[in-house]
């Protein structure tokens, strides 16, 4: 992830178990398409294909730049500031 300067803000890489869904969507009774997890605080939010885009909104509002996929079998991360993605490095999940 050579173009991202925020890798030092990653605090959480392992997903919670179980994941109930987007926290904000559950609170307002909305729906989501895919789930993302903030790697700064572990908040679960919904992707930009979802109506409310809570993950990117959280990144902007709280200044937490990097989220990872919370979808089964997906382990990539995405920086909302730099708009670059990467695979989670091997071993980072432990
Ligand atoms: Zn970045
Ligand atoms: Zn949501
Ligand atoms: Zn966060």
**SS3 at position 26:** helix
Is residue 87 very low, low, confident or very high in pLDDT (cuts 50, 70, 90)? confident
44-71 average pLDDT score: 98
The pTM for the full model equals 0.90
> Which ligand has the nearest atom to the CA of 78?
1
Q: Which residue has the tokens 């995405």?
A: 78
Give 38-57 pLDDT, tens digit per residue.
999 999 999 999 999 999 99
Is residue 1 very low, low, confident or very high in pLDDT (cuts 50, 70, 90)? low
DSSP string, 37-90: EETTT--EEE-TTSSS-HHHHHHHHHT--EEEE-STT--EEEETTTTEEEEPPT
| Residues near ligand 3 ion, CB 5 Å cutoff | 38, 40-41, 43, 64
Task: Give 72 Cα–ligand 1 centroid separation in angstroms.
Answer: 24
Task: Give 30 Cα–ligand 1 centroid separation in angstroms.
Answer: 29
CB neighbours of 92 closer than 8 A, spacing ≥ 6? 13
57-80 average pLDDT score: 96
């Amino acid at each position: 992830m050579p173009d991202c300067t925020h890798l030092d803000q990653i605090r959480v890489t392992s997903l919670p178990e179980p994941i109930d869904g987007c926290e904000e969507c559950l609170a307002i009774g909305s729906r989501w398409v895919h789930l993302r997890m903030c790697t700064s605080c572990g908040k679960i939010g919904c992707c930009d294909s979802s109506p409310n885009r809570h993950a990117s909104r959280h990144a902007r509002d709280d200044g937490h730049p990097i989220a990872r996929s919370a979808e089964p079998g997906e382990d990539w991360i995405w920086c909302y500031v730099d708009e670059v993605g990467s695979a989670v490095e091997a071993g980072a999940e432990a």
